[in-house]
Chain A
Amino acid sequence: MNVPLNIDWQQILLHLFNFVILAGGLYFLLYKPVRDFMDKRTAYYQSLDADTQKKLEEARKLEEAYQSRMADAEKEIREQKARVLREAEAKAEAVLEEAGKQKEQLMSDAVVAARREKERIVEDARVEIAELAVAAAAKILQDNALKAAAGANDKEARHG
Protein backbone atom coordinates (compact mmCIF):
# COMPACT_ATOMS: atom_id res chain seq x y z
CA MET A 1 0.00 0.00 0.00
CA ASN A 2 1.29 3.42 -0.96
CA VAL A 3 1.14 5.65 2.08
CA PRO A 4 0.83 9.36 1.29
CA LEU A 5 3.89 11.55 1.85
CA ASN A 6 5.99 8.36 1.84
CA ILE A 7 5.27 7.72 5.48
CA ASP A 8 7.33 4.77 6.64
CA TRP A 9 6.05 3.01 9.79
CA GLN A 10 9.39 1.39 10.42
CA GLN A 11 11.14 4.75 10.39
CA ILE A 12 8.46 6.17 12.69
CA LEU A 13 9.21 3.37 15.15
CA LEU A 14 12.93 4.02 14.77
CA HIS A 15 12.33 7.69 15.51
CA LEU A 16 10.28 6.66 18.55
CA PHE A 17 13.01 4.29 19.69
CA ASN A 18 15.59 7.02 19.27
CA PHE A 19 13.52 9.59 21.15
CA VAL A 20 12.70 7.23 24.02
CA ILE A 21 16.43 6.59 24.48
CA LEU A 22 17.09 10.34 24.42
CA ALA A 23 14.25 11.20 26.80
CA GLY A 24 15.20 8.43 29.25
CA GLY A 25 18.87 9.35 29.14
CA LEU A 26 18.12 13.03 29.62
CA TYR A 27 15.84 12.21 32.55
CA PHE A 28 18.48 10.20 34.39
CA LEU A 29 21.48 12.30 33.40
CA LEU A 30 20.14 15.85 33.59
CA TYR A 31 16.53 16.36 34.59
CA LYS A 32 16.39 14.23 37.75
CA PRO A 33 19.76 15.20 39.25
CA VAL A 34 19.22 18.91 38.60
CA ARG A 35 15.65 18.79 39.92
CA ASP A 36 16.76 16.80 42.96
CA PHE A 37 19.44 19.38 43.66
CA MET A 38 16.92 22.21 43.25
CA ASP A 39 14.42 20.40 45.50
CA LYS A 40 17.12 19.80 48.10
CA ARG A 41 18.13 23.44 48.00
CA THR A 42 14.49 24.53 48.23
CA ALA A 43 14.02 22.19 51.21
CA TYR A 44 17.18 23.58 52.80
CA TYR A 45 16.03 27.17 52.43
CA GLN A 46 12.52 26.22 53.54
CA SER A 47 13.96 24.59 56.67
CA LEU A 48 16.07 27.71 57.23
CA ASP A 49 12.97 29.79 56.79
CA ALA A 50 11.00 27.55 59.15
CA ASP A 51 13.80 27.76 61.72
CA THR A 52 13.85 31.51 61.38
CA GLN A 53 10.08 31.69 61.74
CA LYS A 54 10.27 29.43 64.79
CA LYS A 55 12.99 31.54 66.34
CA LEU A 56 11.07 34.68 65.52
CA GLU A 57 8.01 33.19 67.18
CA GLU A 58 10.07 32.24 70.23
CA ALA A 59 11.58 35.73 70.30
CA ARG A 60 8.11 37.22 70.03
CA LYS A 61 6.88 35.07 72.92
CA LEU A 62 9.97 35.98 74.94
CA GLU A 63 9.39 39.63 74.18
CA GLU A 64 5.77 39.28 75.28
CA ALA A 65 6.89 37.55 78.50
CA TYR A 66 9.45 40.26 79.13
CA GLN A 67 6.93 42.94 78.40
CA SER A 68 4.50 41.29 80.81
CA ARG A 69 7.26 41.04 83.41
CA MET A 70 8.23 44.63 82.75
CA ALA A 71 4.61 45.65 83.22
CA ASP A 72 4.49 43.69 86.49
CA ALA A 73 7.76 45.22 87.60
CA GLU A 74 6.53 48.69 86.73
CA LYS A 75 3.33 48.04 88.64
CA GLU A 76 5.33 46.77 91.60
CA ILE A 77 7.64 49.78 91.37
CA ARG A 78 4.63 52.08 91.31
CA GLU A 79 3.13 50.33 94.31
CA GLN A 80 6.39 50.42 96.23
CA LYS A 81 6.89 54.03 95.30
CA ALA A 82 3.41 54.85 96.55
CA ARG A 83 3.99 52.86 99.75
CA VAL A 84 7.35 54.52 100.35
CA LEU A 85 5.77 57.88 99.62
CA ARG A 86 3.00 57.18 102.09
CA GLU A 87 5.51 56.08 104.72
CA ALA A 88 7.66 59.10 104.07
CA GLU A 89 4.65 61.36 104.34
CA ALA A 90 3.66 59.68 107.62
CA LYS A 91 7.20 60.04 108.90
CA ALA A 92 7.32 63.66 107.80
CA GLU A 93 4.03 64.31 109.51
CA ALA A 94 5.34 62.68 112.69
CA VAL A 95 8.53 64.69 112.48
CA LEU A 96 6.53 67.84 111.87
CA GLU A 97 4.26 67.03 114.78
CA GLU A 98 7.28 66.39 117.01
CA ALA A 99 8.86 69.59 115.82
CA GLY A 100 5.61 71.42 116.56
CA LYS A 101 5.57 69.99 120.05
CA GLN A 102 9.22 70.87 120.53
CA LYS A 103 8.52 74.33 119.25
CA GLU A 104 5.65 74.82 121.67
CA GLN A 105 7.79 73.47 124.50
CA LEU A 106 10.61 75.76 123.53
CA MET A 107 8.25 78.69 123.27
CA SER A 108 6.72 78.05 126.64
CA ASP A 109 10.16 77.53 128.17
CA ALA A 110 11.37 80.72 126.55
CA VAL A 111 8.34 82.62 127.82
CA VAL A 112 8.93 81.32 131.35
CA ALA A 113 12.64 82.12 131.13
CA ALA A 114 11.94 85.57 129.75
CA ARG A 115 9.43 86.22 132.50
CA ARG A 116 11.93 85.10 135.10
CA GLU A 117 14.63 87.22 133.54
CA LYS A 118 12.31 90.18 133.46
CA GLU A 119 11.42 89.67 137.11
CA ARG A 120 15.07 89.30 137.93
CA ILE A 121 15.97 92.44 136.02
CA VAL A 122 13.09 94.34 137.62
CA GLU A 123 14.21 93.09 141.04
CA ASP A 124 17.78 94.04 140.33
CA ALA A 125 16.67 97.44 139.11
CA ARG A 126 14.54 97.88 142.19
CA VAL A 127 17.53 97.04 144.43
CA GLU A 128 19.76 99.30 142.42
CA ILE A 129 17.25 102.09 142.55
CA ALA A 130 16.95 101.65 146.29
CA GLU A 131 20.68 101.69 146.65
CA LEU A 132 20.89 104.76 144.45
CA ALA A 133 18.15 106.38 146.49
CA VAL A 134 19.99 105.56 149.69
CA ALA A 135 23.24 106.84 148.19
CA ALA A 136 21.54 109.99 147.00
CA ALA A 137 19.94 110.53 150.40
CA ALA A 138 23.28 109.95 152.07
CA LYS A 139 24.90 112.40 149.71
CA ILE A 140 22.25 114.94 150.36
CA LEU A 141 22.66 114.46 154.06
CA GLN A 142 26.39 114.69 153.73
CA ASP A 143 26.09 117.84 151.65
CA ASN A 144 23.72 119.35 154.17
CA ALA A 145 26.05 118.41 156.99
CA LEU A 146 29.00 119.93 155.16
CA LYS A 147 26.96 123.08 154.44
CA ALA A 148 25.93 123.32 158.03
CA ALA A 149 29.52 122.94 159.17
CA ALA A 150 30.70 125.54 156.74
CA GLY A 151 27.99 127.93 157.89
CA ALA A 152 29.06 127.40 161.49
CA ASN A 153 32.66 128.03 160.59
CA ASP A 154 31.70 131.22 158.84
CA LYS A 155 29.72 132.35 161.83
CA GLU A 156 32.62 131.63 164.09
CA ALA A 157 34.93 133.49 161.76
CA ARG A 158 32.67 136.46 161.68
CA HIS A 159 32.19 136.37 165.34
CA GLY A 160 35.66 135.47 165.83
Chain B
Amino acid sequence: MNSKTKKIALAAWIALLGVLLASSLAVGTGAQKHESIKETMRDAVLHESNQISLFGLKEVNPALISAMAVTLAVLLFAAVVRIAVIPRFKMVPGRFQLLLEQLVGFFNGLAKSNSPHRNGFLGAYIFGAGVYIFIGTLFELFGVQAVTTEGHSIALPAPLSDINGAIALGCLSYLIILSGGIAGNGFRGIGSTLKDFSLPISMSFRLFGALLSGLLVTELVYYYIHLSFVLPVAVGVMFTLLHALIQTYVLTMLTALFYGEVSEPHENTRKKADA
Protein backbone atom coordinates (compact mmCIF):
# COMPACT_ATOMS: atom_id res chain seq x y z
CA MET B 1 0.00 0.00 0.00
CA ASN B 2 1.56 3.31 -1.09
CA SER B 3 1.30 6.55 0.85
CA LYS B 4 -1.47 7.98 -1.33
CA THR B 5 -3.69 4.96 -0.75
CA LYS B 6 -2.92 5.11 2.95
CA LYS B 7 -3.98 8.75 3.10
CA ILE B 8 -7.22 8.00 1.26
CA ALA B 9 -7.98 5.09 3.62
CA LEU B 10 -7.26 7.27 6.66
CA ALA B 11 -9.48 10.05 5.38
CA ALA B 12 -12.28 7.56 4.66
CA TRP B 13 -11.95 6.07 8.14
CA ILE B 14 -12.09 9.50 9.81
CA ALA B 15 -15.09 10.48 7.68
CA LEU B 16 -16.87 7.25 8.64
CA LEU B 17 -16.17 7.91 12.30
CA GLY B 18 -17.54 11.43 11.96
CA VAL B 19 -20.71 10.22 10.28
CA LEU B 20 -21.25 7.49 12.90
CA LEU B 21 -20.58 9.90 15.76
CA ALA B 22 -22.96 12.51 14.38
CA SER B 23 -25.69 9.96 13.71
CA SER B 24 -25.27 8.40 17.13
CA LEU B 25 -25.55 11.76 18.81
CA ALA B 26 -28.57 12.65 16.73
CA VAL B 27 -30.38 9.36 17.36
CA GLY B 28 -29.10 8.49 20.85
CA THR B 29 -30.29 11.53 22.71
CA GLY B 30 -33.90 10.77 21.82
CA ALA B 31 -33.89 7.37 23.52
CA GLN B 32 -35.52 7.00 26.92
CA LYS B 33 -33.73 5.30 29.78
CA HIS B 34 -35.66 3.22 32.26
CA GLU B 35 -33.63 4.53 35.20
CA SER B 36 -31.64 7.63 36.07
CA ILE B 37 -27.88 7.61 36.59
CA LYS B 38 -28.49 7.81 40.33
CA GLU B 39 -30.64 4.71 40.23
CA THR B 40 -28.19 2.91 37.96
CA MET B 41 -25.27 3.62 40.29
CA ARG B 42 -27.27 2.73 43.38
CA ASP B 43 -28.46 -0.50 41.79
CA ALA B 44 -24.90 -1.41 40.83
CA VAL B 45 -24.03 -1.33 44.52
CA LEU B 46 -27.18 -2.55 46.23
CA HIS B 47 -28.94 -4.62 43.55
CA GLU B 48 -32.38 -3.54 44.76
CA SER B 49 -33.82 -3.83 41.29
CA ASN B 50 -32.65 -5.43 38.03
CA GLN B 51 -32.69 -8.92 39.40
CA ILE B 52 -32.64 -11.99 37.20
CA SER B 53 -34.62 -15.16 37.70
CA LEU B 54 -32.47 -18.22 38.43
CA PHE B 55 -34.27 -21.00 36.51
CA GLY B 56 -37.52 -19.68 37.95
CA LEU B 57 -36.42 -20.67 41.48
CA LYS B 58 -35.26 -17.38 42.87
CA GLU B 59 -34.52 -13.82 41.86
CA VAL B 60 -30.80 -13.27 42.06
CA ASN B 61 -28.32 -10.50 41.32
CA PRO B 62 -27.02 -10.49 37.75
CA ALA B 63 -23.52 -11.18 39.04
CA LEU B 64 -24.54 -14.69 40.11
CA ILE B 65 -25.65 -15.40 36.56
CA SER B 66 -22.30 -13.97 35.41
CA ALA B 67 -20.50 -16.27 37.84
CA MET B 68 -22.36 -19.28 36.51
CA ALA B 69 -21.74 -18.26 32.92
CA VAL B 70 -18.04 -17.82 33.67
CA THR B 71 -17.90 -21.20 35.38
CA LEU B 72 -19.65 -22.87 32.48
CA ALA B 73 -17.43 -21.22 29.88
CA VAL B 74 -14.20 -21.89 31.77
CA LEU B 75 -15.07 -25.51 32.50
CA LEU B 76 -16.05 -26.11 28.87
CA PHE B 77 -12.78 -24.59 27.73
CA ALA B 78 -10.84 -26.64 30.31
CA ALA B 79 -12.60 -29.83 29.19
CA VAL B 80 -11.71 -29.15 25.57
CA VAL B 81 -8.11 -28.44 26.53
CA ARG B 82 -8.00 -31.60 28.68
CA ILE B 83 -9.31 -33.77 25.88
CA ALA B 84 -7.71 -32.18 22.83
CA VAL B 85 -4.57 -30.41 23.95
CA ILE B 86 -3.05 -31.93 27.08
CA PRO B 87 -2.64 -35.47 25.66
CA ARG B 88 -0.62 -33.89 22.82
CA PHE B 89 1.76 -32.03 25.10
CA LYS B 90 5.36 -32.14 23.93
CA MET B 91 8.62 -32.05 25.83
CA VAL B 92 9.48 -28.84 24.00
CA PRO B 93 6.27 -26.82 24.40
CA GLY B 94 4.47 -24.88 21.72
CA ARG B 95 2.89 -21.47 22.33
CA PHE B 96 -0.40 -22.62 23.83
CA GLN B 97 1.24 -25.33 25.91
CA LEU B 98 3.73 -22.76 27.14
CA LEU B 99 0.88 -20.43 28.10
CA LEU B 100 -0.85 -23.19 30.09
CA GLU B 101 2.40 -24.23 31.73
CA GLN B 102 3.19 -20.63 32.63
CA LEU B 103 -0.27 -20.21 34.13
CA VAL B 104 -0.07 -23.38 36.21
CA GLY B 105 3.59 -22.79 37.00
CA PHE B 106 2.88 -19.24 38.20
CA PHE B 107 0.26 -20.30 40.78
CA ASN B 108 2.20 -23.41 41.74
CA GLY B 109 5.31 -21.28 42.22
CA LEU B 110 3.36 -18.66 44.18
CA ALA B 111 2.09 -21.39 46.52
CA LYS B 112 5.51 -22.96 46.91
CA SER B 113 7.36 -19.72 47.52
CA ASN B 114 4.87 -18.41 50.08
CA SER B 115 4.12 -21.70 51.79
CA PRO B 116 7.12 -24.00 51.43
CA HIS B 117 5.90 -26.51 54.02
CA ARG B 118 2.41 -27.18 52.74
CA ASN B 119 1.35 -26.06 49.28
CA GLY B 120 -0.36 -28.84 47.28
CA PHE B 121 -3.91 -27.80 48.05
CA LEU B 122 -3.03 -24.12 48.21
CA GLY B 123 -1.68 -24.18 44.64
CA ALA B 124 -4.89 -25.76 43.35
CA TYR B 125 -7.03 -23.25 45.27
CA ILE B 126 -5.22 -20.11 44.17
CA PHE B 127 -5.17 -21.41 40.60
CA GLY B 128 -8.97 -21.74 40.67
CA ALA B 129 -9.41 -18.40 42.43
CA GLY B 130 -6.98 -16.64 40.10
CA VAL B 131 -8.66 -17.95 36.96
CA TYR B 132 -12.09 -17.09 38.38
CA ILE B 133 -11.17 -13.51 39.28
CA PHE B 134 -9.29 -12.87 36.04
CA ILE B 135 -11.83 -14.37 33.64
CA GLY B 136 -14.74 -13.12 35.74
CA THR B 137 -13.44 -9.57 35.63
CA LEU B 138 -12.80 -9.72 31.90
CA PHE B 139 -16.29 -11.15 31.46
CA GLU B 140 -17.87 -7.70 31.82
CA LEU B 141 -15.98 -6.60 28.69
CA PHE B 142 -18.07 -8.91 26.53
CA GLY B 143 -21.29 -7.17 27.54
CA VAL B 144 -23.32 -10.38 27.58
CA GLN B 145 -26.97 -9.39 27.72
CA ALA B 146 -29.58 -10.74 30.09
CA VAL B 147 -33.21 -9.88 30.74
CA THR B 148 -34.23 -8.76 34.19
CA THR B 149 -37.43 -9.83 35.94
CA GLU B 150 -38.79 -6.41 35.05
CA GLY B 151 -38.16 -7.08 31.38
CA HIS B 152 -35.20 -4.74 30.92
CA SER B 153 -32.07 -5.78 29.10
CA ILE B 154 -28.86 -5.39 31.05
CA ALA B 155 -25.23 -6.25 30.41
CA LEU B 156 -24.01 -8.90 32.85
CA PRO B 157 -21.42 -7.45 35.26
CA ALA B 158 -18.27 -9.04 36.69
CA PRO B 159 -19.22 -11.75 39.25
CA LEU B 160 -17.13 -10.13 41.97
CA SER B 161 -18.67 -6.69 41.55
CA ASP B 162 -21.52 -8.19 43.57
CA ILE B 163 -20.95 -7.99 47.32
CA ASN B 164 -22.24 -11.55 47.71
CA GLY B 165 -19.68 -12.93 45.26
CA ALA B 166 -16.87 -10.96 46.87
CA ILE B 167 -17.88 -12.09 50.36
CA ALA B 168 -18.08 -15.69 49.19
CA LEU B 169 -14.55 -15.62 47.75
CA GLY B 170 -13.08 -13.57 50.61
CA CYS B 171 -14.57 -15.83 53.29
CA LEU B 172 -13.66 -19.00 51.42
CA SER B 173 -10.07 -17.77 51.14
CA TYR B 174 -10.09 -17.16 54.89
CA LEU B 175 -11.46 -20.66 55.50
CA ILE B 176 -8.74 -22.09 53.29
CA ILE B 177 -6.15 -20.17 55.32
CA LEU B 178 -7.75 -21.49 58.50
CA SER B 179 -7.61 -25.04 57.16
CA GLY B 180 -3.93 -24.54 56.40
CA GLY B 181 -3.38 -23.39 59.97
CA ILE B 182 -5.17 -26.45 61.37
CA ALA B 183 -3.33 -28.83 59.03
CA GLY B 184 0.02 -27.28 59.86
CA ASN B 185 -0.25 -26.48 63.54
CA GLY B 186 -3.51 -27.83 64.92
CA PHE B 187 -5.13 -25.62 67.57
CA ARG B 188 -2.20 -23.23 67.50
CA GLY B 189 -2.93 -22.77 63.78
CA ILE B 190 -6.55 -21.90 64.52
CA GLY B 191 -5.36 -19.32 67.03
CA SER B 192 -2.92 -17.69 64.68
CA THR B 193 -5.57 -17.59 61.91
CA LEU B 194 -8.29 -16.17 64.17
CA LYS B 195 -5.81 -13.50 65.22
CA ASP B 196 -6.31 -12.05 61.71
CA PHE B 197 -10.08 -11.91 62.15
CA SER B 198 -10.36 -8.87 59.91
CA LEU B 199 -8.91 -10.80 56.98
CA PRO B 200 -12.20 -12.11 55.49
CA ILE B 201 -13.70 -8.64 55.64
CA SER B 202 -10.66 -6.95 54.14
CA MET B 203 -10.34 -9.59 51.42
CA SER B 204 -14.02 -9.47 50.53
CA PHE B 205 -14.30 -5.71 50.50
CA ARG B 206 -11.01 -5.23 48.68
CA LEU B 207 -12.35 -7.38 45.86
CA PHE B 208 -15.79 -5.79 45.99
CA GLY B 209 -14.47 -2.24 46.15
CA ALA B 210 -11.98 -2.70 43.34
CA LEU B 211 -14.41 -4.34 40.98
CA LEU B 212 -17.35 -2.15 41.95
CA SER B 213 -15.34 0.98 41.28
CA GLY B 214 -14.59 -0.31 37.79
CA LEU B 215 -18.23 -1.14 37.28
CA LEU B 216 -19.39 2.27 38.49
CA VAL B 217 -16.97 4.12 36.24
CA THR B 218 -18.04 1.97 33.30
CA GLU B 219 -21.73 2.51 34.11
CA LEU B 220 -21.15 6.21 34.36
CA VAL B 221 -19.32 6.38 31.08
CA TYR B 222 -21.80 4.25 29.19
CA TYR B 223 -24.82 6.01 30.66
CA TYR B 224 -24.16 9.13 28.64
CA ILE B 225 -24.00 8.63 24.91
CA HIS B 226 -21.57 11.57 24.63
CA LEU B 227 -19.00 9.70 26.70
CA SER B 228 -19.41 6.47 24.76
CA PHE B 229 -16.76 7.23 22.16
CA VAL B 230 -13.00 6.70 22.56
CA LEU B 231 -13.26 6.98 26.35
CA PRO B 232 -14.51 3.39 26.85
CA VAL B 233 -11.32 2.12 25.20
CA ALA B 234 -9.36 3.51 28.13
CA VAL B 235 -11.99 3.18 30.84
CA GLY B 236 -13.55 -0.10 29.83
CA VAL B 237 -10.68 -2.13 28.44
CA MET B 238 -7.69 -0.76 30.27
CA PHE B 239 -9.31 -0.46 33.70
CA THR B 240 -10.86 -3.89 33.38
CA LEU B 241 -7.61 -5.50 32.31
CA LEU B 242 -5.70 -3.79 35.11
CA HIS B 243 -8.38 -4.74 37.64
CA ALA B 244 -8.32 -8.32 36.45
CA LEU B 245 -4.55 -8.58 36.75
CA ILE B 246 -4.18 -6.67 39.99
CA GLN B 247 -7.05 -8.29 41.86
CA THR B 248 -6.03 -11.76 40.72
CA TYR B 249 -2.51 -11.18 41.95
CA VAL B 250 -3.54 -9.49 45.20
CA LEU B 251 -6.05 -12.10 46.37
CA THR B 252 -3.97 -15.12 45.38
CA MET B 253 -0.81 -13.61 46.80
CA LEU B 254 -2.48 -12.65 50.09
CA THR B 255 -4.09 -16.07 50.43
CA ALA B 256 -0.78 -17.82 49.75
CA LEU B 257 1.07 -15.49 52.11
CA PHE B 258 -1.29 -15.94 55.05
CA TYR B 259 -1.64 -19.66 54.36
CA GLY B 260 2.15 -20.02 54.44
CA GLU B 261 2.35 -17.98 57.63
CA VAL B 262 -0.24 -19.95 59.60
CA SER B 263 0.75 -23.38 58.27
CA GLU B 264 4.45 -22.94 59.00
CA PRO B 265 5.34 -25.47 61.72
CA HIS B 266 6.25 -23.85 65.07
CA GLU B 267 9.31 -24.93 67.01
CA ASN B 268 7.29 -27.21 69.32
CA THR B 269 5.49 -28.87 66.42
CA ARG B 270 8.81 -29.31 64.62
CA LYS B 271 10.44 -30.85 67.66
CA LYS B 272 7.46 -33.18 68.09
CA ALA B 273 7.63 -34.13 64.44
CA ASP B 274 11.40 -34.71 64.67
CA ALA B 275 10.94 -36.86 67.77
Contact = CB atoms under 8 A, between A and B. Distances in A.
Interface string A7-24: 110111111101101111
Contacts of A30: 78, 81-82, 86, 100, 104, 127
A151 B232 CA distance: 180
Contacts of A13: 168
A16 B78 contact: no
A55 interface: no
Interface string B160-171: 001111011101
A139 interface: no
Interface residues of B, number: 47
A37 interface: yes
A23 B172 CA distance: 12
A22 B127 CA distance: 11
Interface in B88-115: 89, 91, 100-101, 103-105, 107-108
Given A15-B64, A29-B79, A34-B101, A6 B129 contact: no
Contacts of B171: 12
A6 B67 contact: no
A44 B101 CA distance: 16
A32 interface: yes
B265 interface: no
Interface stretch (B6-14, B25-33, B42-50, B256-264): B42-50
Could you tell me the dominant secondary structure of chain B's interface residues?
helix
A31 interface: yes
B250 interface: no
B104 A5 contact: no
B40 interface: no
A10 B131 CA distance: 24
Given A6-B48, A14-B60, A18-B64, A38 B164 contact: no
A34 B132 contact: no
A7 B104 contact: no
A67 B172 CA distance: 66
A27 interface: yes
Contact of B74 (A16, A26, A41): A26
19 contacts: A6-B47, A6-B163, A11-B162, A14-B64, A14-B164, A15-B64, A19-B132, A22-B74, A22-B131, A23-B125, A23-B127, A23-B128, A30-B86, A30-B100, A31-B107, A31-B123, A34-B101, A38-B104, A41-B91
Interface of A: 5-8, 10-16, 18-19, 21-27, 29-35, 37-38, 41, 44
Interface of B: 45-48, 54, 58, 60-61, 64, 67-68, 70-71, 74-75, 78-79, 81-82, 86, 89, 91, 100-101, 103-105, 107-108, 123-125, 127-129, 131-132, 159, 162-165, 167-169, 171-172
